Chains A and B, each alone.
Chain A
Amino acid sequence: KAGVTQTPRYLIKTRGQQVTLSCSPISGHRSVSWYQQTPGQGLQFLFEYFSETQRNKGNFPGRFSGRQFSNSRSEMNVSTLELGDSALYLCASSSAGTRTLGYTFGSGTRLTVV
């Protein structure tokens, strides 16, 4: 079956702009999580959505937001971009919030802010 699809694969934005990233989870998966990866901070949890509701949120400013649609696809938005927002943004899906199931990650969106 198809994996987790993230679009676009690469993106270049200017400081102050906003950006929207998209994630399509594996069919049937209702949980979608977002992570930011930078060389300095590594992989950090942004937020998780389940059945269109945000269930958990990491320690990021309010400029970072997200949503999930009824088909489980998710988007994340970053407003007023800063140079430090340059990162690989990863989306992960799972079929439920159970401990025994792993997360499947997409290939990520590489965002560069100039």
Chain B
Amino acid sequence: DAKTTQPPSMDCAEGRAANLPCNHSTISGNEYVYWYRQIHSQGPQYIIHGLKNNETNEMASLIITEDRKSSTLILPHATLRDTAVYYCIVRVQTSQGGSEKLVFGKGTKLTVNP
């Protein structure tokens, strides 16, 4: 089962910031938070990841709370092309050493409106 919970859908006006929340209250101290997005009928695309500190790259910013129980993905200036399903994932360490898998939840369907 996914270790994260996200709202099923959100809307955002084009040009405005999109703030996508994610709860991961059972996250372990050495687990990272990853964000991916999936545009219709394509494979998921990596966006950003973080452990404790806030992170920023050319696509987005990731804000992780101090207790690490939740995080927010920020798309500073959303465009129509940002319409997608956004997945928040906690990297799960499997029982086989060194092997990891991504456990996807339902994600948030973000719709950017003109």
Contact = CB atoms under 8 A, between A and B. Distances in A.
A4 B101 contact: no
Interface string A92-111: 10000101101111111010
Interface string A54-72: 0110100000000000000
Interface stretch (B19-27, B66-74, B103-111): B103-111
A22 interface: no
A-side interface size class: 20 to 34
Contacts of A75: none
Interface of A: 4, 33, 35, 42-45, 48, 50, 55-56, 58, 88, 90, 92, 97, 99-100, 102-108, 110
16 contacts: A35-B102, A42-B107, A43-B44, A48-B101, A50-B98, A50-B99, A55-B99, A56-B94, A56-B96, A90-B44, A92-B44, A99-B32, A100-B49, A102-B34, A102-B46, A105-B44
Interface of B: 30, 32, 34, 41-46, 49, 87, 91, 94, 96, 98-107
